[in-house]
Amino acid sequence: MNEFYLSLLNRINFENITDHPNILVAAAFWDEDRYTAARICYKYLRTIDDLIDNYKSSHKVIDEKTRHSFSNSVKQWLKEVENGNRTDGINHELIQTVRKFHIPVWPMEVFARSMMRHIQLPGSHHT
């Protein structure tokens, strides 16, 4: 599954996003390093959310096996961020940013809980 995340992440051109989310608009007023940190965090959160949204947009329901797989992926992602000791892999850039800027883990935990509910809910995607 990590290869899938990495290929998805690499296909997104974050520089050409024309409809900037509010968080990035606000972060643009920060210094360049902090703005880059916000973009990195947003990129990882958006990738996970889009993965689930894209699946839901083409499937009426998430079958139990896929739900379990998505849930495990979110849990693994959060565990890697919480541990912060991975020096390579898909979350490397995010973990380095969390370390550098002393970002607390709780926003990632809140996001992970939101994604777990999103995985469990039937129906269409959210944004």
Q: Does the residue 127 lie in any domain?
A: no
Domain presence at residue 75: yes
pLDDT of res. 36? 86
Residue 94 belongs to some domain of the structure: yes
- Looking at the domain assignment, is residue 126 inside a domain? no
* Mean pLDDT score, 3-7: 64
Confidence band (pLDDT; 50, 70, 90) for 59?
A: confident
Look at residue 53 and tell me if it is in a domain.
yes
Of the two residues 13 and 37, the one the predictor is more confident about is: 37
Provide the domain count of the chain.
1
Kindly write down the DSSP assignment for every residue of 34-71, as one continuous string: HHHHHHHHHHHHHHHHHHHHHHHHH-SS--HHHHHHHH
Which residue range is the domain that position 110 belongs to? 2-120
* Per-residue confidence band for 127, with pLDDT thresholds at 50, 70 and 90: very low
For the chain, the average pLDDT equals 79
pLDDT band at 85; cut points 50, 70, 90:
low
- Per-residue model confidence (pLDDT) at position 26: 66
For residues 88 and 6, the answer to whether their CB atoms sit within 8 Å is no
125 within domain boundaries: no
Q: What's the token pair of residue 72?
A: 């495990």
